[in-house]
Structure 1
């Protein structure tokens, strides 16, 4: 787990091959300035962080210093909470039903269509589910 002078910090893990994801993370870092480490999953030690490549391919991850892994909209909520100021209020709202249900749906809609969004490329496509993979497991 990455550390700073104050101790370990959370890690935001994203898809570094996806132009849309990389641009989004860059904007969020500049705008929010959260106290965390940021790493593309392709260069992160996912096992040491307590997660898998399969999960990192399908959603942004927020990994706490204690090893709790949040994905998708909940990872974004944790990022906002960590940013503090007014962002923390929005982050807190994203953790509460029914807002969290809507946030999950919006996140999945964006994630499933990121190849069509600005900066999206074929590398942004989510991997096919194993059940859809004709080669099998």
Structure 2
């Protein structure tokens, strides 16, 4: 297990990579970031299907948080005003709204600024029209 939390994201997605790069430069979270394509997923307790579906936050103890909850954990780890935002994201009803917004963005990330066709979710994870 890692000694610091690990943020696992889709390194093939330009939108995801841009978001993580922004977080690394501006928020400076206390974690290691790694694209799922280069991560040792089994040692993190994560399967590829889940890593393809959502961003993941893996704690040193092995707890795995996904989607909006992973974003909240990232913000909390950054400290300061970002931690306040992370705490708010974890509170109902904001938590419920954040889950929906995260899913909407993740399902349409190829349409987001910086997104490309490669950002589209794998067929098994795409929403049914």
Compute the RMSD of aligned alpha carbons: 1.3
TM-score when scaled to structure 2? 0.94
Q: CA deviation at 1:9?
A: 0.4
Q: Which has the higher contact order (CA 8 A, sep 6+)?
A: 2
1:107 to 102, 105, 112: 102
Unaligned runs of at least 5 residues, structure 2 = none
TM (norm. structure 1) is: 0.88
Partner of 2:42: 47
Using the TM superposition, give the Cα deviation of residue 35 of structure 1 relative to its aligned residue in structure 2, in angstroms: 1.1
Which of 52, 59, 77 aligns to 1:82? It is 77
In structure 2, the residue matched to 1:94 is 89
Runs of 4+ in 1 over 6 A off after TM superposition: none
Gapped regions of structure 1 (runs ≥ 5): 3-7, 133-137
Tell me the CA shift for residue 129 of structure 1.
2.8
The alpha-carbon deviation at position 127 of structure 1 amounts to 1.5
1:66 corresponds, among 52, 61, 69, to 61
1:5 alignment counterpart:
none
CA distance in 2 between partners of 1:50 and 1:122 (Å): 29
1:10-21 matched pairs, under 5 angstroms: 10-21=5-16
Aligned length in residues: 126
Per-residue deviation, residues 64-109 of structure 1 (Å, max 9, x unmatched): 0000000000000000111111111110111111100000011011
Aligned match of 1:116 = 111
* Cα distance per residue 1:16-71 (max 9 Å; x no partner): 00000001100011111011100000000001000110000010000000000000
Question: Deviation at 1:117?
Answer: 1.1
